[in-house]
Amino acid sequence: MKKELVVAVTGASGALYAGRLLRALLGGGHRVHAVLSRYGRYLLCEELGWQPEKESLLGFLARLYGEEVRQGELKEYGVGDLTGPLASGSGGHEGMVVVPCSTKTLSGIACGASSNLIERAADVTLKERRPLILVVRETPLNLIQLRNLVSVSEAGAIVLPAMPAFYQKPRTFDDLGDFIAGRVCNLLHIPHQLFSTWTGPTTPQGN
């Protein structure tokens, strides 16, 4: 079953996670509403090589990951535009992911600031009781940031730190990105084959 989702990209290092999630969602034929913060756009340029003056976001993803991403639908919104459907509870999306999620954006969501479209869309997602997944990418964390994580969790968001596992024996950076993308898909109830699930130890364990 195809889903309609919001994916926001903010300025915490970790463009790989955003790219691999967009690849998985669009390759699966889902409809994605994308919102990039100013530094989220910079991140895709700096870390993944996007050239927005020469190519669209979808064209860039197709160049990076292959034409399979065109199986889905991608629509991009300006981060300062609060007039669109993502800013209203009447919009029909089924969940939102902020990937990577900067601690600045975390703070804005935690206090309900709604000062831009990412914060407002997250606020709407929470109030409409839809899944909101925040792929927070920061280390170490100070007390203010930890309290913000508690606040968004109490409000109903799911905090999914950008902490890939290694039991699946990753061989490339893309494998690490796919692990996080796969965990997001799990929470959105989207089937995937991005990584092998844990089935138990492969070597005998001592007492």
- The beta strands (E) that lie in 28-141 are given as 31-36, 73-77, 96-101, 132-136
Least confident of 53-62, 97-106, 163-172: 163-172
Residue 47 carries which DSSP code?
I
What type of residue is 4?
E
Domains along the chain with CATH numbers = 4-187 (3.40.50.1950)
Question: What is the C-alpha to C-alpha distance for residues 153 and 207, in angstroms, rounded to an integer?
Answer: 38
pLDDT at 28 over 90: yes
pTM for the full model? 0.95
Q: What value does the mean pLDDT take over residues 177-201?
A: 90
Share of the chain above pLDDT 70, in %: 98
Question: What is the C-alpha to C-alpha distance for residues 172 and 37, in angstroms, rounded to an integer?
Answer: 27
Q: Can you give the pLDDT at residue 207?
A: 60
pLDDT tens sequence across 159-188 = 999 999 998 899 999 999 999 999 999 999
All residues at 6 or more sequence positions from 27 whose CB lies less than 8 Å from its CB, including other chains: 65, 68, 69, 71, 72
